[in-house]
Each structure stands twice: as C-alpha cells, then as structure tokens.
C-alpha cells in the first residue's frame, strides 16, 4: 500500500510498511462501480482490438495474492488466474497473502475477472504471485532481487511478460544512487535491464511522499523501470511523487495513472477503495498486457520495452501540476492506435482489418476512480527500507461504523548485505496508523475503501 504517516525528519529516516484507515463496512453489492476507465479507456481498447491479456501473465512482487478470491480465480495453479508463484519469505510454493492485502489489491486492478464493473484492466491475463514480505512483517531488498531473478529464470514457464513493483523505500531521490552501488541496488538494476532484454518491462510506483519537492523512491528512480506516478482527475494527485526530465534526466517519471478511489479486490472475497501510486502502477501493468497482446497477434513476438514506453507516452493525455511539470496520464485506447498494423507501417496509421466499435459499456475493466500506490525498496546512500502503505475504509450499510486502531512502529537495520524491515507495536510514537475492520467478515466478504 502506499501512504506514509510520520512526522518531520523522522518520517524521512524511517521506512513505512502499511497504514490502513478504516471507516466502517459496506456490503459489496452496495459499492458503486469505480470510474477510472473513464480516464484510461481500457474497456474501449479491449473492445476495439478484441484483447484482454489472454495468454500473457504479470508477475506481482508484493505481499502475496489471496488467490481464493472469486474474482482472482478461487485457486492457484495452471488454468487459474494466479497461475503460479513463490513465497520468498517462507521459502515455499504457496504465495498466499496471509497478513496483508496489498498484493491482492494490486492483482485485482491488473486482472480481476469480476463482471460487475470491478474487473481488471486485462481481465484475461494470468498472474504470478511473488511474496517478499513474511508473516512477521519483514522484508528485504535481497528478496526483491531474488524475485526478479525468479522471473528471469521462469518467465517462459509461466508466460510472464511484465513485472509490477508497487514497493518503495519512502524516500525522495532526484538521481540514481543504486545502479553502481556495488550491492543489492546494483543487482536489482542489473536484473531490471536483463528483463528488458527479454522484452519484459518492470513497472514501478514512484511513492506517495510528495511534499512540494520533486523526486521519487527506489526502484522508480532506476532508468530501466517504467515509473508511474498518480493522477486525480485532470491533475497530479497531491501525494504522488514525481520527477521532471529537467531535474531527473533518464530517471524522470515516465507516466501517470489514476491514483484515487480505485475499487479492487481485498481479503475475504471483498472489494475496497484504494488510493496511492501503488495502485496507479498496476493500471499501467494491465495496459501493457493489452498492448503486448495486440503487438504479438500481428508480429508473433513481444514488443521491445522502449517501444511500449513510446506508445504509452505518446498516447497519454498531458497532466500538469502547479509547478508547471507535465506528465502524461495513461490512455490505453490512444496508445493502442500507435502500434503498427503490419511490418513497415507507420505508427498512428489506421489499423486495417480491426473493428472500430466505440468504448465498451461496462467492460471487464469496469469503472474505477483512481488508483493507489505504494513506495518501493531502496538501497544506497540514506536508504530507509521497504514501504507498503495505504488506507482501508469501509461502511456497513444500515449500521453504525465501527473502528479499531492500533499503532505500529518500525525498527530497521542496515548492514552490508541486508536491509530488514520489522513492524512491532509501539506506544504513542505511532509512525504508522494501522486500522482494520472491527466486525467479522462474512463468507461473502466485506467491502470498503482502501488508500495505498
């Protein structure tokens, strides 16, 4: 998830894991459809080009996925939505999300099969869950690197064509300090480049710590990633970190996507509203799956990462912040038009032989209002740790909202080989605010609103 909660200088020095703010419970049937598709036009692209991501898969490096969710297939394995994965924290073959819903939320925005307006951007695609946070709320950059290596080694077996990294170190960098650090940062940067050579892009959320100064977290600062910031309507979301080309050069933020009010899958077969760059990133991941399917149907191979980025950026709608910075907001339909129809065709020419129907009414992608975000893992000078943060809110229909809060603090250790993140109860300092529903979940699942 992707919101940090702390004070002053302490906030900048300490990693944040998760912050969920709960407002009550609401039944799933009472939740309105989300409306992010009004902005990104994924349903129109799916209908016009007859694609849904089928035959391709996204690797989600996160807190695991609750594959028991009906919209995520209800099971794990070949033929399911979550076709496979690995738990790098517990070192076993079951990547089930047991303590945090963050990865489940990310997964739903990519490939939920829900048919009631809560579907993912690429509802026909598969998912591969790579769990890098354990039940003890600990994670390490080494696990992130191991997960990327896992994708390099097994991408053909599972059909992985894109990686989603909604993880950050909750810091604000203008320059890449990791690609040559001689440690795990350099290893991660090298694996991102190796995946690019395999035509597998790594999509990274920029983080949610914007306070008026440009910069993004790690891994979004790596030039090899497709870095994604968050938008809200026709402007950049206030909390979304961003970096201009003038200041960041090759590390500049590549794209924006909705980061507020997104409706997605949560634990106990429920749905929730999420917010943050952690959830903007999977919208781009889903879009990449659709563009890859279009290209592969015409040419028999995946497009190069630089081609994908070119289509995404040139097809995007320009969004500005108060400082004059302009970043393109994802527009899948326009980006799809830039894919050549045949070898030698010029990008942007009419796509011969393709249907020209308008946007789908409901679409498997549904409508959602904005997407979330979570910061990433950081290594290098001043790195603070891994961040997964967010808010979860829900309202019980016809009942009184109930709430239970607990405070979490973080201890962190930095050594030559490992940066570990530990969450533990603390007294009044409370760098993180964590809340969860104080009502029992039914078999049908509770729904609500999450900010990440």
pLDDT digits (tens, 9 = 90+) for 127-153: 999 999 998 877 888 999 999 999 999
Burial (CB count within 10 angstroms: exposed 0-12, middle 13-18, buried 19+), residue 357: exposed
Q: How far is CA 310 from CA 99, 210, 219, 304, in A?
A: 38, 26, 20, 10
Is the model's pLDDT at 390 over the cut of 50? Answer: no
Radius of gyration of the chain (CA): 20
Confidence (pLDDT) at 347: 58
Q: Structural domain boundaries of the chain?
A: 34-337
Confidence (pLDDT) at 344: 62
Give the integer Cα–Cα distance in Å for 373 and 283.
11
First to last CA, the chain: 4
φ/ψ (deg, to 5) at 291:
-65, -40
Q: How far is CA 192 from CA 26, 120, 158, 189, 200, in A?
A: 40, 25, 18, 5, 9
Is the model's pLDDT at 50 over the cut of 90? Answer: yes
- Residue from 241, 256, 276, 237 nearest 318 by CA: 256
Tokens of 442: 């039914």
pLDDT band at 35 (very low <50, low <70, confident <90, very high): confident
pLDDT band at 324 (very low <50, low <70, confident <90, very high): confident
Is the model's pLDDT at 381 over the cut of 80? Answer: no
Tokens of 82: 């979550």
Is the model's pLDDT at 433 over the cut of 50? Answer: no
The number of residues making up the chain comes to: 452
Mean pLDDT score, 406-426? 29
Which of 40-49, 121-130, 208-217, 402-411 shows the lowest per-residue confidence on average (mean pLDDT)? 402-411
Mean pLDDT score, 325-331? 96
Is the model's pLDDT at 450 over the cut of 80? Answer: no
Burial (CB count within 10 angstroms: exposed 0-12, middle 13-18, buried 19+), residue 244: middle
Is the model's pLDDT at 168 over the cut of 60? Answer: yes
Confidence (pLDDT) at 136: 82
- Residue from 110, 97, 104, 178 nearest 145 by CA: 178
| pLDDT tens digits, 235-294 | 999 999 999 999 999 999 999 999 998 999 999 999 999 999 999 999 999 999 999 999
DSSP one-letter code for 134: -
Give the integer Cα–Cα distance in Å for 441 and 199.
42
DSSP string, 301-336: SPPPHHHHHHHHHHHSEEEE-TTS-EEEEP-HHHHH
Q: Would residue 353 be called left, alpha or beta, if left means φ above 0 and alpha means ψ between -120 and 50 degrees? A: left
- Residue from 422, 8, 384 nearest 169 by CA: 384
Which of 71-80, 330-339, 342-351 shows the lowest per-residue confidence on average (mean pLDDT)? 342-351
Is the model's pLDDT at 365 over the cut of 80? Answer: no
CA–centroid distance for 38 within its chain: 19
Q: Pick 207 or 438 by higher pLDDT.
A: 207
Burial (CB count within 10 angstroms: exposed 0-12, middle 13-18, buried 19+), residue 443: exposed
- Residue from 424, 388, 384 nearest 406 by CA: 424
Give the integer Cα–Cα distance in Å for 161 and 331.
20
Is the model's pLDDT at 192 over the cut of 60? Answer: yes
According to DSSP, the residues that pair with 164 across neighbouring strands are 60, 203
Give the integer Cα–Cα distance in Å for 277 and 374.
5
3-state secondary structure of 195: helix
Q: How far is CA 335 from CA 82, 314, 343, in A?
A: 27, 7, 18
DSSP one-letter code for 133: B
pLDDT band at 411 (very low <50, low <70, confident <90, very high): very low
- Residue from 372, 428, 425, 423 nearest 15 by CA: 423
According to DSSP, the residues that pair with 162 across neighbouring strands are 58
Which of 96-100, 109-113, 418-422 shows the lowest per-residue confidence on average (mean pLDDT)? 418-422
> What superfamily in CATH does domain 34-337 come from?
Peptidase S8/S53 domain (3.40.50.200)
Which of 21-35, 186-200, 428-442 shows the lowest per-residue confidence on average (mean pLDDT)? 428-442
CA–centroid distance for 306 within its chain: 20
Give the integer Cα–Cα distance in Å for 45 and 286.
12
Is the model's pLDDT at 451 over the cut of 90? Answer: no
Confidence (pLDDT) at 314: 98
């Amino acid at each position: 998830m992707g919101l940090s909660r702390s004070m002053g200088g302490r906030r900048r020095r300490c990693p944040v894991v998760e912050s969920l703010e709960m407002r009550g419970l609401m039944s799933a049937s009472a939740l309105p459809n989300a409306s992010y598709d009004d902005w990104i036009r994924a349903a129109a692209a799916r209908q016009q080009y007859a694609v849904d991501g089928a035959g391709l898969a996204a690797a989600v490096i996160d807190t695991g996925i609750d594959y028991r969710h009906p919209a995520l297939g209800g099971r794990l394995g070949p033929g399911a939505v979550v076709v496979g994965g690995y738990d790098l924290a517990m070192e076993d073959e079951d990547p089930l999300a047991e303590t945090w819903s963050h990865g489940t939320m990310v997964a739903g925005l990519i490939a939920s099969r829900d048919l009631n307006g809560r579907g993912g951007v690429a509802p026909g695609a598969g998912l591969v869950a790579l769990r890098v946070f354990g039940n003890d709320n600990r994670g390490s950059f080494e696990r992130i690197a191991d997960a990327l290596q896992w994708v390099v080694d097994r991408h053909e077996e599972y059909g992985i064509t894109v990686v989603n990294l909604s993880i950050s170190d909750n810091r604000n960098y203008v320059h890449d300090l990791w690609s040559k650090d001689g440690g795990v940062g350099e290893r991660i940067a090298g694996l991102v480049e190796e995946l690019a050579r395999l035509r597998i892009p790594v999509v990274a959320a920029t983080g949610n710590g914007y306070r008026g100064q440009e910069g993004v977290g790690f891994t979004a600062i790596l030039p090899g990633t497709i870095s994604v910031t968050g938008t809200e309507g026709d402007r950049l979301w206030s909390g979304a970190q961003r970096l201009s080309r003038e200041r960041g050069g090759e590390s500049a933020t590549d794209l924006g996507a909705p980061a507020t009010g997104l409706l997605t899958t949560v634990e106990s077969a429920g749905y929730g509203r999420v917010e943050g760059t952690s959830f903007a990133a999977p919208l781009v991941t889903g879009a990449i799956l659709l563009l890859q399917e279009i290209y592969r149907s015409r040419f028999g191979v995946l497009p190069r990462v630089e081609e994908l980025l070119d289509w995404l950026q040139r097809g995007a709608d320009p969004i500005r912040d108060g400082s004059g910075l302009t970043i393109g907001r994802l527009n899948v339909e326009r980006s799809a038009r830039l894919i050549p129809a045949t070898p030698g065709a010029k990008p942007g020419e009419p796509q011969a032989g393709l249907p020209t129907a308008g946007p789908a009414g409901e679409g498997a992608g549904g409508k959602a209002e904005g997407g979330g975000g979570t910061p990433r893992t950081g290594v290098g000078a001043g790195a603070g740790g891994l961040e997964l943060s967010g808010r979860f809110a829900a309202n019980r229909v016809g009942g009184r909202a109930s709430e239970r809060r607990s405070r979490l603090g973080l201890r962190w250790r930095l050594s030559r080989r490992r940066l570990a993140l530990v969450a533990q109860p603390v007294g009044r300092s409370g760098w993180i605010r964590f809340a969860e529903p104080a009502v029992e979940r039914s078999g049908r699942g509770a729904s609500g609103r999450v900010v990440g």
